[in-house]
Structure 1
Amino acid sequence: MAANYADIIKEAENIAIIGCSANRYRTSYHIASYLRDNGYRIIPVNPNYDEVLGLPCYDTMNDIPEKYSVDIVDIFRDSQYTAEMVQQIIDWSKNNGQKPVIWTQLDVSSKEAEELAKEAGFRYVKNECLMVQHEKST
């Protein structure tokens, strides 16, 4: 399914970021900061941190409180882990009925991850930078 990035970005309010880092020199930190500064609620997901950007950081998607809806899950993990992350999103979705767009950053997608997402009925954005697409759409 072809993605209309501008529509996805415009409709989103809450973005979970898997692999979000508290290290200000990491790309995920920079993009999370940019998205937060542009009005999105950021939900960091990374078992290595208790908080990122002053926000609670959750170990897995299943640890995100049910009070949060998630519109996009942005993945910042090495491509060898992406299918595992997509499966985590699918399992999380079964528990709460949400079907966020799965967005993979540059060089993060894998064929297995994309197939898992599509078989489960998720919109899947492959190897695109969310910040760059946001800048293009504004």
Structure 2
Amino acid sequence: MNDREEIRTALETARTIAIVGCSPKPERPSNAIARYLMEQGYQIVPVNPGHRAILGETCYPSLSEIPGDVRLDIVDVFRRSDQVAPVADEAIARGVKFFFMQQGVVDPGSARRLEEAGIPVAMDRCILVEHASRGIPRRNFGPSVER
């Protein structure tokens, strides 16, 4: 868990990042980080049951409601620690490649289940800090829908 090389590999190979708990408010960290990731060339998929679109992207109520043809490489969670378990279960069912719990989000039980399912986890880590500190070049990918 929190292996620096696994984090680097995930960020270098990812195309699409689901932001669970993404806020439409620009002053919120989830929105600022989603914008940063978009500026870095990642496709973001906002997940928030209270909104239809955030940052010009279709917003989904949950991971399970994102269409199956949308590739999800990383799930980044901006939820309270006690709300991670159902998101982790959806990520396992979806077969995502990496699971981030943002700074302050800690759920060892969910982390253990994710890792047992073969999904690496970064817990209590900020995806923006992890990305920026590694000097990973801007991504240049096409659409996230697999064809």
TM-score under structure 1 length normalisation: 0.90
* Contact kept in structure 1, 2:75 and 2:96, CA below 8 Å: no
Q: 2:46·2:54 contact (CA, 8 Å) conserved in 1?
A: yes
Matches within 5 A, 1:1-138: 1=1, 2-4=3-5, 5-91=7-93, 93=94, 98-138=95-135
Q: Is the 8 A contact 2:10 2:97 kept in 1?
A: no
Give the counterpart letter for 1:127 in structure 2: D
The whole-number CA distance in structure 2 between the counterparts of 1:89 and 1:127 is 18
- Larger deviation: 37-46 or 111-120? 111-120
How far apart are 1:99 and its partner, in Å?
3.0
CA RMSD of aligned residues (A): 1.2
CA distance in 2 between counterparts of 1:63 and 1:37 reads 25
Q: Aligned residues: percent identity?
A: 33
Stretches of structure 2 that go unaligned for 5 or more consecutive residues are 136-147
Higher helix share: 1
Residue-pair matches, total = 133
Deviation for aligned residue 1:3: 4.2
What is the letter of the counterpart of residue 35 of structure 1?
L
Task: Name the SS for the 1:15 alignment partner.
Answer: strand
Off by >4 Å, runs of 4+ in structure 1: none
Measured in 1, the distance between the counterparts of 2:98 and 2:66 equals 16
Tell me, in whole angstroms, the C-alpha distance in 2 between the residues paired with 1:46 and 1:22: 9
Letter in 2 for 1:67: D
> Are the equivalent residues in 1 in contact too, given 2:21–2:77 (CA < 8 A)?
yes
Give the alignment's TM-score, normalised by structure 2. 0.85
Q: Residue 101 of structure 1 aligns to which amino acid in structure 2?
A: F
User: In 2, Cα distance between the equivalents of 1:83 and 1:61?
Assistant: 13
Q: Matched residues in 1 for 2:74 and 2:85: separation? A: 16
**Structure 2 counterpart of 1:120, one-letter code:** A
CA distance in 1, matches of 2:120, 2:35: 24
